[in-house]
Amino acid sequence: MIDVEVIETSSLGDRSYLATDGEVAVVVDPQRDVDRVLALAGRLGVRISHVVETHVHNDYVSGGLELARLTGAAYVMSAQDDVAFARTGVVDGDVLEASPRLRLRVLATPGHTFHHLSYVLEGADGPHGVFTGGSLLYGTTGRTDLLGDEHAQTLARAQHASAASMADALPDGAQVWPTHGFGSFCTASPASGNESTVGNEKEVNPVLRLARDEFVRHTLAGLGAYPAYYAHMGALNTAGPAPVDLRPPTTADPAELARRLAAGEWVVDLRHRKAYLDSHLTGTVSLGLDGPMATWLGWMAPHGAPITLLGEDRAQVAQAQRELVRIGVDHVVAAATGEPGDLADAAQLAGLPSASFADLAAELSGRRLADLPPAQVVLDVRLGTEWNASHIRGAVHIPLPELDARLAEVPDGAVWVHCGSGYRATAAASLLARAGRTVVVVDDMFDDAADAGVPLTPTS
């Protein structure tokens, strides 16, 4: 019997997989922190024979090379990928024999990248499913513009052909196991669901329902922004990532924290945003571990910038460090733990006011709230696709990843800042407050804004 274990990395919207016959295992698209994979293999009592990559990843640093080195497994990827290390190169039609009961059949599925591969998991009774990487996802496909806008249309055409070929080659009952599609920015459009089959995708997935040219138009029209750190992932993965280092960072005392904040460095508060709003060190940036901290920090902070982490305890710092090394942020220069009052004197502490969309509706209708600064500027920090779907009339739009560089574009006056849920709004407010602006965080769900009486534009 073949079992497939899912290794979830929800903070990045990705999955890795371990497939086993009970004795031997193959691992697909492992993240950089391979101790999770080794621990799983140990619990199952299996030997890893192959580590396979569907593509050179653009959204995270791969752990494949290190996992293969530690286990003695064959490291498998496309023979067409130009990499700086030894690996087992495969092409369409190759078969990887892990055991008499478990093998992988290679399918060339260009689209997400030029040399993208999928792997059909086969047992003695035939195919069980297919590891699709960034090709066929749940209700969508991988985006086609990560190698440059000039290649997006060509790759979208290839993506359509790859999906059709895959669907024709497999039975409807075959499971689909994608790497992307659980919140990842690698998807062409939002994915849905936690499991699927080839037959189900034939019913719901645009790539299998639309004609090629219609699919290409549909795909290219839906592509939005993606994190800036993606630009560095491919280069790291083709060069061969260094082994991960999860040793605790140097502990920063209050004096060092004050120096780093005075120098304008990125000092990141990992606590929940409500704790941050209540009290925080002046100049820190709020990116709580209850949201996709690594994605937003990797998108906003300059590549290679020194990062200092502030957590309630060592566990929070360790979790943040693990998430950051997955995207190549190895330069956590210092960390501190405890309550803000333990890390600074009273003169260095601040809080931020929060409000609901009902409060904002009252402000916009002229009913002043005496306990809050006036809503002289409404700032929307959601991404462009969200703004285009619907936004508040008269609001200023600056996506969160661009805000630090565009602070001068925020009009004068007290700023009420919102996003889709409050997480990004708090991050944005911390940047605005760091720049000396008066700010109110709308800590509320945008989906409830219309019912609260906030005037919205119609859907475009």
Please spell the DSSP secondary structure of 249-318, one letter per residue. PPBPPHHHHHHHHHTT-EEEE-S-HHHHHH-EETT-EE--TTS-HHHHHHHHSPTT--EEEEESSHHHHH
Dist CA 198 CA 202 (whole Å): 6
Instruction: Kindly report the backbone phi and psi dihedral angles of residue 293, in degrees, each rounded to the nearest multiple of 5, phi listed first.
Output: -55, -50
In the chain, % of residues over pLDDT 70: 100
Under a CB-based contact definition with an 8 Å cutoff, are residues 202 and 172 in contact?
Answer: yes
Q: Looking at residue 459, what is its pLDDT?
A: 55
Dist CA 219 CA 143 (whole Å): 8
Q: Which residues of 55-79 are buried (b: 16+ CB within 10 A; e: fewer)?
A: bbbbbbbbbbbbbbebbebbbbbbe
Mean pLDDT of the chain: 95
Question: ∠ CA(36), CA(38), CA(41), 5° rounding?
Answer: 110
Nearest to 297 by CA among 327, 319, 334: 327
The mean pLDDT of 349-361, rounded to a whole number, is 97
Q: Which two tokens stand for residue 364?
A: 């916009």
Residue 230: pLDDT over 60: yes
- Per residue in 126-142, pLDDT (tens digit) is 999 999 999 999 999 99
Q: What is the dotted CATH code of the domain comprising 3-239?
A: 3.60.15.10
Structural Rg of the chain based on CA atoms = 24
Q: Find how far residue 12's CA is from the centre of its chain.
A: 3
Under a CB-based contact definition with an 8 Å cutoff, are residues 334 and 260 in contact?
Answer: yes
- Per residue in 268-296, pLDDT (tens digit) is 999 999 999 999 999 999 999 999 999 99
Q: Looking at residue 191, what is its pLDDT?
A: 82
Burial tier of 45 (Cβ tally within 10 Å: 0-12, 13-18, 19+): exposed
Confidence of residue 458 (pLDDT cuts 50, 70, 90): confident
Which one-letter DSSP state was computed for residue 31?
Answer: B
Dist CA 186 CA 195 (whole Å): 18
- Per residue in 4-62, pLDDT (tens digit) is 999 999 999 999 999 999 999 999 999 999 999 999 999 999 999 999 999 999 999 99
Q: Looking at residue 190, what is its pLDDT?
A: 81
The mean pLDDT of 245-262, rounded to a whole number, is 94
- Per residue in 166-211, pLDDT (tens digit) is 999 999 999 999 999 888 889 888 887 889 999 999 999 999 999 9
The mean pLDDT of 386-393, rounded to a whole number, is 95
pTM of the model: 0.94
Q: How many CB atoms lie within 10 A of CB 221?
A: 9
- CATH 3.60.15.10: which residues of the chain? 3-239
Q: Looking at residue 76, what is its pLDDT?
A: 98
Q: Find how far residue 377's CA is from the centre of its chain.
A: 30
- Per residue in 299-313, pLDDT (tens digit) is 999 999 999 999 999
End-to-end alpha-carbon separation of the chain, Å?
Answer: 51
Q: Looking at residue 370, what is its pLDDT?
A: 79
Residue 347: pLDDT over 90: no
- Per residue in 152-161, pLDDT (tens digit) is 999 999 999 9
- Per residue in 107-120, pLDDT (tens digit) is 999 999 999 999 99
Dist CA 18 CA 16 (whole Å): 7
- CATH 3.40.250.10: which residues of the chain? 254-350, 354-448
Q: Looking at residue 460, what is its pLDDT?
A: 46
Q: Decide if domain 254-350 falls under CATH 3.40.50.720.
A: no
CATH fold of 354-448: Oxidized Rhodanese; domain 1 (3.40.250)
Q: Which two tokens stand for residue 405?
A: 């560089």
